[in-house]
A and B are shown apart, each in its own frame.
Chain A
Amino acid sequence: MAVKDYIRERFFPHMWCAGCGHGIVLNGLIRAVEKLGIDKSAIVMVSGIGCSSRIAGYLDFHTLHTLHGRALAFATGVKLSKPELNVIVPMGDGDALAIGGNHFIHAARRNINITAIVMNNRIYGMTGGQCSPLSGYGTLASTAPYTNVDQSFDVVQLASAAGATFVARSTGFHVQQMTEIIQEAILHNGFSVVEVMSQCPTYFGRRNRQGDAVDMLKYMQKITTPIGSKAKEQNPELIERGVFVRKELPEYCSAYDTVIRRAKEGK
């Protein structure tokens, strides 16, 4: 099927700003699903609130646009209730890790077969550029006018420590890698987290003098490197891209099937 078969064309052009990285994630996600050839009716996309969360409305799946931060909680209900569905949860960084941080770590801990995509633009886009738990020390935001003194999370480390069994990172510049990683994440049987570094030229870019979308993508190219590369040894500041965790642990819904079996046998 063509890209257009996966979108709700009547809502295009979409609402995102020119050069918004969330559009690149949309693009990569469609190509991942297309390559996997998954039936559109077998996918439920659950999103929260934010610019990123609007992605759900543009895709021709079963789409559930929920509350700020709560997408994974809704998704857990969908998935446990009907495990045969593919559940994909795109989230903003604030959505996933500020207000939704608790749901994020618990979904990871349960290892429920959901694909979480953190569209990390290091800012609150929808509400106009406030700092997020991923903005980072020393950045500027509308609520950090004298520079941000909050330290940031490392999504990969957080997800890994919380128990996610597939953890990866890519960027809007590295679209081929991003698409391949999303594909693998969807196929992975367990909780998978994909952090995609996404640019918000409108707020993060402008405030932090990172230039336009093109400049921001160039910057992502510059500051990232494949996992375990030579470059990383020489420059520890570089952010690694690739698959960090890929492991097998009992998946929650299958584990619950065991509960059902035990309950029925009376044990």
Chain B
Amino acid sequence: MSNNIRFVQGNEACVEGALYAGLEFFAGYPITPSTEIAEQLSSRLPKIGGKFIQMEDEIASMCAIIGASLTGRKVMTATSGPGFSLKQEALGYAIMAEIPCVIVNVQRGGPSTGIPTHVHQGDVNQARWGTHGDHAIVALTASNHQDVFAMTVEAFNIAETYRTPVVLLFDEVVGHMRERLVLPEPGEIPIVERLRTSVKPGVNYHPYLPREDGRLPMSDFGGVHRYNVTGLYHDMWGFPSDEPKIINELLHHLMDKIEHRTNQLARFKEFYTEDAECLLISYGSSARSAREVVEKHRQRGERFGLLELLTLWPFPSDLIRQKAAGARLVVVVEMNMGQMCQSVRLAVDRPERVFLSNRVDGVFISPSDIEKTLHLIQGKGV
């Protein structure tokens, strides 16, 4: 039992989760505050016969994991703000070519080099819209190490199930904080393995023809089926096409396979939401302070609740609308200028009751910061 308990950084919890999920190939480039993920994997992966490579930059890292994924491996890269910006073009490629992969972004303060060693959650919208063109994306987050582990496993499972990149959006506080992690036994959390085609050699295999359940079985590079992979719009064999019908259908497929499953993909936690008059909505390390605030007010008999989002994208609008339906006040707690708050306002009825409690100076948002916002809101007579 004690064997399974670790006292680790959030970044290490992510490493443990990735290995539990079956990670076999990692490519990365050092950047604070994500570097520990690369360092740890450089030591852990070869021990299990996996591969680690430090590439020349973040673009190359993203490209390398896509290449490795096509040979049939579970793959991941990890970075922070500036590196996440560099990865965007290749991230779009993975979306277009439907390549399972996991991209960790341990957020720091931006824009630009910003503030490397301090906490921010300013990449929420970048995770959604960082790469050009219409697309859908899955982004997950967590506020504590047990959830970092679980969401990392979940990221691999979603990536493999839907043949899609999945972004893990952690933050500096979660990444660097030390806390207890209980490693689940093998088999305790289900692992999704890659779905491979059962099409026999010599029979026409369509890498981009979804089955009835929407899944697209893959065939590893080096296997019997030779096909094309491209970032151009393509037909079901993967060959470039500029036919309007094919373009239209592919774009809808790429959007729908994620967006139509928004509710199914929504991972969240809730604390006293049923009767909450004041609903806090938060995610990542900010949710830790939000939770403290909620507990304190509950002890005083005040009807506070917390909705902690683990899935940030596709944005769980239905969930938020439902949970916020009975609340008089909705306060979004985050460490940016209101990126999630904006989406919440769009999701709920009566958006005028939605307020932002934030901190953007690189200092971790504390329960008293949130209390201050609550006072201000109350002062406004809401």
> Chain A interface: which of B51-59, B179-187, B262-270?
B51-59
Q: Would you call A82 and B71 a contact (CB within 8 A)?
A: yes
* Measured CA separation A41–B220 after assembly (Å): 11
Q: Would you call A61 and B46 a contact (CB within 8 A)?
A: no
* Measured CA separation A16–B60 after assembly (Å): 29
Q: Would you call B60 and A73 a contact (CB within 8 A)?
A: yes
Given that A70-B59, A76-B67, A106-B60 are contacting pairs, would A64 and B46 also be in contact in the complex, using a CB cutoff of 8 Å?
no
Given that A41-B223, A42-B222, A66-B63 are contacting pairs, would A80 and B53 also be in contact in the complex, using a CB cutoff of 8 Å?
yes
* Measured CA separation A130–B68 after assembly (Å): 33
Q: Would you call A65 and B222 a contact (CB within 8 A)?
A: no
Q: Would you call A74 and B228 a contact (CB within 8 A)?
A: no
* Given A78-B221, A103-B56, A256-B46, 18 extra CB contacts under 8 A: A44-B221, A62-B70, A62-B226, A65-B228, A65-B229, A65-B232, A70-B60, A73-B55, A74-B64, A74-B66, A76-B27, A76-B55, A76-B67, A77-B64, A77-B67, A85-B222, A263-B43, A264-B49
Contacts of B90 in A (CB 8 A): 67, 70
Given that A73-B63, A76-B67 are contacting pairs, would A260 and B46 also be in contact in the complex, using a CB cutoff of 8 Å?
yes
Closest to A77 in B: B67
Partner of A81 from B67, B93, B227 at Cβ < 8 Å: B67
A56 within 8 A of B: yes
Q: Would you call B67 and A63 a contact (CB within 8 A)?
A: no
Please name the 5 residue pairs, one residue from A and one from B, whose CB atoms are nearest each other, closest first: A77-B67, A77-B64, A263-B46, A73-B63, A81-B68
Contacts of A256 in B (CB 8 A): 46, 51, 53
Q: Write the B68-80 contact mask toward A (1 if CB under 8 angstroms, else 0).
A: 1111110100000
Given that A73-B64, A76-B53, A77-B27 are contacting pairs, would A67 and B93 also be in contact in the complex, using a CB cutoff of 8 Å?
yes
Contacts of A263 in B (CB 8 A): 43, 46-47
Contacts of A12 in B (CB 8 A): none
Contacts of B49 in A (CB 8 A): 260, 264
Contacts of B230 in A (CB 8 A): 57, 65
B240 within 8 A of A: yes
Contacts of B222 in A (CB 8 A): 41-42, 44, 62, 82, 84-85
Q: Would you call A76 and B64 a contact (CB within 8 A)?
A: yes
A11 within 8 A of B: yes
B231 within 8 A of A: yes
Q: Would you call B67 and A67 a contact (CB within 8 A)?
A: no
Q: Which of the listed residues A46, A56, A85, A263 has the most CB atoms from chain B within 10 Å of its own CB? A: A263
Closest to B25 in A: A81
Residue positions of A touching B, CB distance < 8 A? 11, 40-42, 44, 46, 56-57, 60-67, 70, 73-82, 84-85, 102-103, 106, 256, 259-260, 262-264
Given that A76-B53, A82-B221 are contacting pairs, would A65 and B63 also be in contact in the complex, using a CB cutoff of 8 Å?
no
B residues 226-279 near A (Cβ < 8 Å) are: 226-232, 239-240
Contacts of A79 in B (CB 8 A): 67
B224 within 8 A of A: yes
B349 within 8 A of A: no
* Measured CA separation A76–B62 after assembly (Å): 11
Closest to B63 in A: A73
B371 within 8 A of A: no
Q: How far is the CB of B130 from chain A (nearest CB, A)?
A: 15
Given that A78-B71, A81-B71 are contacting pairs, would A40 and B63 also be in contact in the complex, using a CB cutoff of 8 Å?
no
Closest to A262 in B: B46
* Measured CA separation A263–B43 after assembly (Å): 7
Q: Would you call B64 and A57 a contact (CB within 8 A)?
A: no
B residues 167-215 near A (Cβ < 8 Å) are: none
B65 within 8 A of A: yes
Given that A57-B239, A61-B226, A74-B63 are contacting pairs, would A66 and B51 also be in contact in the complex, using a CB cutoff of 8 Å?
no
* Measured CA separation A263–B52 after assembly (Å): 12
Q: Would you call A70 and B63 a contact (CB within 8 A)?
A: yes
Partner of B63 from A77, A80, A264 at Cβ < 8 Å: A77
Q: Would you call B68 and A80 a contact (CB within 8 A)?
A: yes
Q: Write the B87-101 contact mask toward A (1 if CB under 8 angstroms, else 0).
A: 001100100000000
